[in-house]
């Protein structure tokens, strides 16, 4: 018995449905949620096991190329799931992984990815406790697909819910945006452009754990802006919390190389994927403590308060420039495409 | 860290000062209808929030300078037909074209279904694909005003020089002056002045716009794309309008020369010739407004090499793309806007391209507080 109607009526699944923007949202909310009866759409789900609250999540990684400046698919696979657990306010405990391998893949490549997963897990202090392996025919998978599923122990001090987000709450961003997506774009080699940029893939748990210690009562919501970028994450917040958001453009840090690449290609850093950053919504009262806590962890120095929640009938995300002009930040439909002129 | 050519033209103090100067010279009864011809300017105006900072006496009429938006509906289909019917054909195009809705889907949709569709950033990328894949035939779906025609031309010359015989151009290059004239010739057209295209003018220079200033008596200021550029251009236009002048001025002096880029113009002339007529989306047929490869380059002309059946697509009768392109309607005044036609489900290309007036309005109007 379906609790919600199936609203998804598109006849086929397209690439846009996987890009993390509006089309993805339509697929998930319109087809998957009604059947799977998922109660809340967050980075990690909560499962109550007697007295213990567990965060539970899964993610798949289909990145091309497999290796790129700053990391590889194996590292992403571990950090991605670790981060989703962290976004649930939980300490990452254990991960299982499935590998779908295209027949013909050089063993050397698989080995370097397993090694990368091992190193990332050690660094993130999480155990890889099992998994599954499948090999499919040549051309039935693009070299290597990895899925990781993880569990974590939810910190009892934490109560995360979009419904708690209110007018006056501050939006904190952990660091510069756009590095990962632009790195992948360049690494594909389709564009004749090079830059000194690398993926920002890392576990954000060290920052989140200090943030919880310093500001748990005021911590209301967190998300890591992966596919679809900041624009998707913030628009989902606005919608789920039924609020509006005003960002200060100058406060959002973007590395000059990323900014340059975006200017040349006509892309907006707000739509680009990140793999080592997160957004936290914290009450005004706790915002400064929260910020300081993140900044004091190595790698968190560039964290900043980038905006504020306000009330409005329209659940929108706006960004104010240094000269007072505001623009709307909307979710993309599909992947960001470079502009021509 | 300052980014050259970007940050100076986003300087908040200078922007504020320019806005103040505009406010000083605009009088309460003034109503200026300014057409920004180029889609890039439409995008910039909204991206930088300029329309809400300027006095309400300034009305923007969004022009047809978006080469994706004015593409007749059948053209993308024609290109995709060749690729989907022949597995040895690779269809290449700029990013903007990827989501243009064809009869059987956009290039991206076709790609998802298995047609070899690849996004490129430069025409030379397409030539490289041809060189790397000698057993395939590569079609470059070339679009753009005079802005991008020189790079297509250079690529054709390179293909000739290297004797590459598996590279073909499907030319949809168009010219800015004929379309602006065609708009000015429309009855009931009320445009007071033009913000001239920045990058097309890098190629063609300022002289071709003289006819607009002298015969149609409309001032033209060729503008850059940063907020300060656009505001400065508006200031220059208003000053001309207030003093009854109509001349062509270049605000975008850092890249636009009076005479344009002479070598680029020569290369265009060497490789391309005018099509007698070309059908523009929403504007009908305009004479000598588009470019095709000269007969001596027929070897690289996709329209010669492939038997392309002309696909004429009936436009949705309720879609008012034409009126919007002519500046007679604002996007939100179209019957389909926001209801049937949205960025998720675009009926016309004005909603697909991020520079299309409709997509810009949708992303802005449906998002911001001010309307």
Interchain pair A329, B367: CB under 8 A: yes
Task: Look at phi and psi of residue A70 and say left if phi exceeds 0, alpha if psi is from -120 to 50, else beta.
Answer: left
pLDDT score of B241 more than 90: yes
B112-140 pLDDT per residue, tens:
888 999 988 889 999 999 999 999 999 99
What confidence score (pLDDT) does residue A341 get?
55
Interface probe with B: pick from A246, A325, A334, most Cβ of B within 10 Å: A325
Average pLDDT over residues A247-258: 96
Contact B152, B139 (CB under 8 A): no
Share of chain B above pLDDT 70, in %: 97
What is the distance between the alpha carbons of residues B67 and B171, in angstroms, rounded to a whole number? Answer: 12
Share of chain A above pLDDT 90, in %: 75
Average pLDDT over residues A64-77: 94
Q: List CB contacts of A273: < 8 A, sequence separation 6 or more.
A: A20, A180, A181, A184, A225, A226, A227, A228, A229
Q: Are residues B13 and B150 in the same domain?
A: no
What confidence score (pLDDT) does residue A314 get?
87
- Is the CA virtual torsion A326, A330, A336, B1 positive or negative? positive
Asked, for residue B364, whether it belongs to a domain, the answer is no
What confidence score (pLDDT) does residue B359 get?
87
Interchain pair A314, B369: CB under 8 A: yes
Name the residue of chain B whose CA is nearest to A256's CA.
B1
State yes or no: cis peptide before A65, omega within 30 of 0: yes
Interchain pair B67, A256: CB under 8 A: no
Q: Are residues B137 and B282 in the same domain?
A: yes
A307-324 pLDDT per residue, tens:
999 999 889 999 999 888
Interchain pair A22, B344: CB under 8 A: yes
Q: Which of B140, B147, B148, B150 is nearest to B170 (CA)?
A: B140
Q: List CB contacts of A231: < 8 A, sequence separation 6 or more.
A: A21, A268, A270, A271, A317, A329, A330, A331, A332
Higher-pLDDT residue of A182 and B112 is A182
Higher-pLDDT residue of A159 and A15 is A159
CA distance B188 to chain A (A): 30
Q: Are residues B167 and B265 in the same domain?
A: yes
Asked, for residue B39, whether it belongs to a domain, the answer is yes
Average pLDDT over residues A288-294: 98
Strand arrangement, sheet containing B32-38: B58-65, B32-38, B193-196, B220-222, B248-250
What confidence score (pLDDT) does residue A339 get?
55
What confidence score (pLDDT) does residue A140 get?
87
Q: Are residues B111 and B204 in the same domain?
A: no
What confidence score (pLDDT) does residue A251 get?
97
Asked, for residue B289, whether it belongs to a domain, the answer is yes
Name the residue of chain B whose CA is nearest to A334's CA.
B344
Q: Which of A312, A317, A333 comes nearest B344 by C-beta?
A: A333
Q: Give, as one character, the DSSP assignment of residue A28.
A: I
For chain A, strand residue ranges (E) read 45-49, 52-61, 67-68, 71-72, 90-102, 127-136, 144-154, 170-173, 219-223, 244-248, 279-282, 304-310, 317-320, 326-328
Interchain pair A263, B6: CB under 8 A: yes
Higher-pLDDT residue of B345 and B1 is B345
Interchain pair A341, B369: CB under 8 A: no
Interchain pair A338, B94: CB under 8 A: yes
- Average pLDDT value over all residues in chain B: 90
Q: Are residues B113 and B148 in the same domain?
A: yes
Interface probe with B: pick from A244, A323, A333, most Cβ of B within 10 Å: A323
Name the residue of chain B whose CA is nearest to A327's CA.
B49
pLDDT score of B364 more than 80: no
Of the spans A239-243, A260-264, B94-98, B106-110, which averages the highest pLDDT?
A239-243
CA distance B221 to chain A (A): 19
Please, which pLDDT band fits residue B231 given cuts at 50, 70 and 90? very high
pLDDT score of B365 more than 90: no
Name the residue of chain A whose CA is nearest to B118's CA.
A190
Is the CB of A326 inside 8 Å of chain B's CB atoms?
yes
Question: Of how many residues is chain A composed?
Answer: 341
What's the structural domain count of chain B?
Answer: 2
User: Which residues in chain A have Cβ-Cβ distances shorter than 8 Å to B10?
Assistant: 321-323
Average pLDDT over residues B132-149: 96
Which domains are assigned to chain A? 40-154 (3.30.1330.10), 162-328 (3.90.650.10)
139-158 in chain A: CB under 8 A from chain B: none
pLDDT score of A286 more than 90: yes
B3-41 pLDDT per residue, tens:
777 788 888 899 999 999 999 999 999 999 999 999 889
A128-156 pLDDT per residue, tens:
999 999 999 998 888 999 999 999 999 99
Name the residue of chain A whose CA is nearest to B121's CA.
A191
Contact A149, A58 (CB under 8 A): yes
Q: Are residues B125 and B158 in the same domain?
A: yes
Name the residue of chain B whose CA is nearest to A249's CA.
B48
User: Which residues in chain B have Cβ-Cβ distances shorter than 8 Å to A265?
Assistant: 121
Average pLDDT over residues A262-277: 92
CA distance B96 to chain A (A): 6
Interface ipTM: 0.77
Q: Are residues B90 and B161 in the same domain?
A: yes
Residue A318, φ and ψ in degrees, nearest 5: -120, 155
pLDDT score of B371 more than 70: no
Q: Which of A15, A325, A341 comes nearest B108 by C-beta?
A: A15
Q: Are residues B61 and B78 in the same domain?
A: no
Number of A–B residue contacts, CB under 8 Å: 119
Contact A96, A131 (CB under 8 A): yes
Interchain pair A23, B49: CB under 8 A: no
CA distance B75 to chain A (A): 18
| CB count in 10 Å sphere of residue B104 | 12
Token digits of residue A276: 């080592």
Contact B98, B107 (CB under 8 A): yes
Q: Are residues B167 and B276 in the same domain?
A: yes
Asked, for residue B277, whether it belongs to a domain, the answer is yes
Asked, for residue B222, whether it belongs to a domain, the answer is yes
pLDDT score of A111 more than 70: yes
CA distance A318 to chain B (A): 7
Interchain pair B53, A337: CB under 8 A: no
Q: Which of B60, B58, B50, B53 is nearest to B28 (CA)?
A: B58
C-alpha distances out from residue A43 to A38, A81, A206, Å = 12, 9, 17
Is the CB of A328 inside 8 Å of chain B's CB atoms?
yes
Per-residue DSSP letters for B3-49? -TTTGGGG-HHHHHHHHHHHHHH--TT--EEEEEEEHHHHHHHHHTT
What confidence score (pLDDT) does residue B84 get?
87
Higher-pLDDT residue of B59 and A1 is B59
pLDDT score of A125 more than 60: yes
What confidence score (pLDDT) does residue B370 get?
37
| CB count in 10 Å sphere of residue A45 | 16
What confidence score (pLDDT) does residue B366 get?
61
Q: Which of A16, A328, A337 comes nearest B367 by C-beta?
A: A328
Q: Which of A14, A192, A339 comes nearest B354 by C-beta?
A: A339
**Residue B21 maps to which CATH number?**
3.40.50.11750
B164-216 pLDDT per residue, tens:
999 999 999 999 999 999 989 988 788 999 999 999 999 999 999 999 999 99
B302-357 pLDDT per residue, tens:
999 998 788 877 777 888 887 887 778 889 999 999 889 988 788 877 887 777 88
What is the distance between the alpha carbons of residues B135 and B139, in angstroms, rounded to a whole number? Answer: 13
Q: Are residues B169 and B84 in the same domain?
A: yes
Asked, for residue B360, whether it belongs to a domain, the answer is no
Residue with tokens 């047809």: B64
What confidence score (pLDDT) does residue A338 get?
62
- Helix, coil or strand: residue A29: helix
Q: Are residues B104 and B218 in the same domain?
A: no
Supply the range of the domain harboring residue B208.
Answer: 7-65+188-250
Is the CB of A16 inside 8 Å of chain B's CB atoms?
yes
Q: Are residues B276 and B225 in the same domain?
A: no
Residue with tokens 């004005």: B350
User: Which residues in chain B have Cβ-Cβ distances shorter than 8 Å to A323?
Assistant: 10, 12, 15-16, 53, 227
């Amino acid at each position: 018995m379906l609790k919600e109607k199936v609203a998804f009526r598109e006849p086929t699944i397209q690439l846009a449905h996987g890009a993390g923007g509006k089309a993805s949202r339509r697929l998930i909310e319109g087809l998957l949620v009604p059947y799977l009866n998922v109660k809340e759409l967050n980075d990690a789900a909560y499962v109550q096991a007697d007295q213990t609250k567990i965060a539970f999540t899964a993610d798949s990684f289909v990145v091309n190329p497999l290796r790129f400046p700053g990391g590889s698919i194996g590292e992403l696979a571990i950090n991605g799931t670790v981060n989703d657990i962290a976004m649930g306010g939980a300490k990452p405990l254990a991960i299982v992984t499935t590998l779908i391998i295209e027949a013909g893949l050089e063993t050397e490549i698989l080995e370097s990815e397993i090694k990368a997963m091992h190193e990332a897990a050690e660094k993130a202090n999480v155990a890889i406790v099992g998994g599954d392996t499948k090999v499919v025919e040549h051309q039935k998978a693009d070299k290597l697909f990895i899925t990781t599923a993880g569990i974590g122990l939810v910190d009892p001090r934490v109560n995360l819910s979009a419904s708690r987000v209110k007018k006056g709450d501050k939006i904190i961003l952990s660091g510069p945006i756009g590095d990962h997506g632009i790195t992948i774009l360049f690494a594909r080699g389709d564009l004749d452009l090079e830059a000194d940029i690398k993926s920002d893939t890392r576990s954000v748990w060290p920052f989140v754990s200090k943030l919880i210690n310093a500001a748990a009562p005021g911590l209301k919501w967190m998300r890591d802006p992966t596919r679809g970028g900041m624009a998707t994450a913030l628009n989902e917040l606005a919608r789920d919390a039924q609020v509006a958001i005003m960002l200060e453009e100058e406060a959002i840090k973007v590395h000059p190389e990323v900014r340059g690449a975006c200017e040349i290609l006509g892309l907006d850093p707000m739509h680009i994927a990140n793999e080592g950053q997160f957004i936290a919504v914290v009450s005004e009262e706790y915002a400064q403590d929260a910020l300081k806590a993140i900044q004091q962890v190595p790698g968190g120095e560039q964290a900043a308060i980038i905006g504020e929640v306000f009330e409005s009938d329209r659940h929108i995300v706006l960004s104010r420039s240094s000269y007072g002009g505001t623009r709307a930040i909307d979710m993309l439909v599909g992947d960001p495409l470079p502009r021509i002129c | 860290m300052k980014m050259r050519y970007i940050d100076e033209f986003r300087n908040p103090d200078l922007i504020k000062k320019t806005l103040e100067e505009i406010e000083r010279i605009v009088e309460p009864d003034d109503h200026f209808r300014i057409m920004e011809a180029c889609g890039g300017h439409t995008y910039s105006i909204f991206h930088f929030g300029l329309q809400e900072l300027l006095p309400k006496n300034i009305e923007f009429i969004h022009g047809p300078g978006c080469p994706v938006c004015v593409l007749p509906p059948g053209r993308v289909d024609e290109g995709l037909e060749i690729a989907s019917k022949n597995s040895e054909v690779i269809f290449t195009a700029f990013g903007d074209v990827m989501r243009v809705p064809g009869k059987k889907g956009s290039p991206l949709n076709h790609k998802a279904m298995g047609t070899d569709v690849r996004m490129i950033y430069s025409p030379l990328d397409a030539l490289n694909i041809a060189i790397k894949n000698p057993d395939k035939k590569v079609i470059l779906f070339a679009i753009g005003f005079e802005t991008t025609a020189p790079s297509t031309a250079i690529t054709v010359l390179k293909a000739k020089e290297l004797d590459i015989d598996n590279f073909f151009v499907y030319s949809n290059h168009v010219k800015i002056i004929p379309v602006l004239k065609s708009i000015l010739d429309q009855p009931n057209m009320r445009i007071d002045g033009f913000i001239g295209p920045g990058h097309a003018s890098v190629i063609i220079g300022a002289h071709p716009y003289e006819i607009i200033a002298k015969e149609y008596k409309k001032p033209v200021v060729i503008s850059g794309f940063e907020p300060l550029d656009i505001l400065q251009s508006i200031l220059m236009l208003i000053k001309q309008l207030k003093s009854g002048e109509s001349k062509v001025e270049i605000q975008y002096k850092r890249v636009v020369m009076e005479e344009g880029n002479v070598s680029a113009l020569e290369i265009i002339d060497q490789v391309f010739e005018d099509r007698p007529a070309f059908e523009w989306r929403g504007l009908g047929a305009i004479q000598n407004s588009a470019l095709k490869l000269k007969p001596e380059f027929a070897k690289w002309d996709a329209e010669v090499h492939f038997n392309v059946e002309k696909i004429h697509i009936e436009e949705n009768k309720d879609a008012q793309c034409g009126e919007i392109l002519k500046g007679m309607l604002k996007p939100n005044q179209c019957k389909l806007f926001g209801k049937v036609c949205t960025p998720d489900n675009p009926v016309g290309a004005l909603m697909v391209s991020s520079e299309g007036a409709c997509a810009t309005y949708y992303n802005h109007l449906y998002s911001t507080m001010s309307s």
